[in-house]
C-alpha cells in the first residue's frame, strides 16, 4: 500500500472513530436526559403522593377517620342527648325528630327548641365544614286551608327556619344551605305511627370538604 493510500485509509478510520465518538456523546446525553426525565417524574409523583397523604390525614382529623374525636366533640356540648348523631363517609348527620323543633303543620321553631339548637351551634363552631339542613316529612297529606299546600313546602320552610337560626347564632352564611325533600326520602316505613314519626325530621349535615 502506498503512503498516499495509507494516509487516505488512516484519514477514513479517523473520521469513523470521530463519528463513533460523536454518536457515543449523543447517546450519553440522551441517557442523561432520560434519567433526568424519569427522576423528575418520580419526584413529582412522590410529591403528589405525600401531599395526598397529608390531605387525607387532615380530612380524617377533621371528622372522617377519627369518629371518637368527633363523638367526643358533640358529647362535650350535649348534642347527642337532644338529637341522634350518625357518622357517615361524606358527612355527619345530626337528626332531630320534627316534634322536638316544630308543632304539627308549622314551620316556626318552638321556643323550647332554641336551647337544643344552641348546643349544636357550639359544636359546629369547632368544625369549619359546610352545613346543609334538610327538611323531611311523612307521606300524610296536610290539612287543607293551612299555610302550606304540600309536604314539600313544609319541609323546605322548616329547613330554612333552622338555617336562619344557625345564621343568627353565628354560623357563617357561606357555610349554610337548606333543602326540603318532603316525603320523598323516608328512612322508615310510613305504614306505622312510629315510622311516620321517624320520617318527620330535620337533618343538620356537616359535609366533608373536598379540598
Domain boundary assignment for the chain: 1-60, 67-207
Report, as an integer, the average pLDDT of 137-147.
92
Q: What is the pLDDT of residue 210?
A: 64
Report, as an integer, the average pLDDT of 73-101.
77
- Is 207 within 8 Å of 163 (Cβ atoms)? no
Q: What is the pLDDT of residue 84?
A: 84
Average pLDDT of the chain, as a whole number:
76
DSSP state of 206: E
Q: What is the pLDDT of residue 57?
A: 43
Cell output for 111: 321556643
Task: Evaluate whether the domain defined by 67-207 bears CATH number 3.30.1330.60.
Answer: yes
Lowest mean pLDDT among 9-18, 86-95, 116-125, 189-198: 9-18
3-state DSSP of 46-103: HHHHHHHHHHHHHHHHHCCCCHHHHHHHHHHCCHHHHCEEEECCCEEEEEEEHHHHCC
Q: What is the pLDDT of residue 73?
A: 58
Give CA–CA dist 155/139, Å, rounded: 12
Characterise 51 by phi-psi region: left (phi > 0), alpha (psi -120 to 50), beta (else): alpha
Query: How much of the chain exceeds pLDDT 70, in percent?
Result: 60
Report, as an integer, the average pLDDT of 7-33.
53
Cell output for 8: 487516505
Amino acid at each position: 500500500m502506498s503512503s498516499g493510500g495509507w494516509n487516505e485509509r488512516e484519514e477514513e478510520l479517523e473520521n469513523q472513530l470521530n463519528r463513533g465518538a460523536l454518536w457515543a456523546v449523543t447517546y450519553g446525553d440522551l441517557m442523561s436526559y432520560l434519567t433526568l426525565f424519569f427522576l423528575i417524574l418520580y419526584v413529582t409523583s412522590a410529591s403528589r403522593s405525600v401531599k395526598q397523604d397529608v390531605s387525607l390525614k387532615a380530612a380524617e382529623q377533621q371528622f372522617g377517620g377519627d369518629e371518637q374525636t368527633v363523638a367526643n366533640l358533640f358529647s362535650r356540648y350535649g348534642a347527642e342527648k337532644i338529637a341522634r348523631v350518625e357518622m357517615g363517609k361524606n358527612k355527619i348527620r345530626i337528626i332531630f325528630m320534627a316534634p322536638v323543633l316544630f308543632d304539627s303543620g308549622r314551620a316556626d321553631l318552638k321556643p323550647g327548641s332554641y336551647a337544643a339548637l344552641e348546643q349544636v351551634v357550639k359544636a359546629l363552631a369547632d368544625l369549619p365544614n359546610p352545613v346543609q339542613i334538610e327538611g323531611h316529612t311523612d307521606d300524610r297529606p296536610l290539612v287543607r286551608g293551612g299555610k302550606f299546600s304540600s309536604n314539600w313546602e313544609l319541609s323546605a320552610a322548616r329547613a330554612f327556619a333552622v338555617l336562619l337560626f344557625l345564621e343568627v347564632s353565628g354560623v357563617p352564611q357561606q357555610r349554610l344551605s337548606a333543602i326540603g325533600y318532603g316525603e320523598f326520602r323516608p328512612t322508615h316505613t310510613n305504614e306505622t305511627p312510629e315510622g311516620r314519626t321517624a320520617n318527620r325530621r330535620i337533618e343538620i349535615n356537616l359535609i366533608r370538604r373536598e379540598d
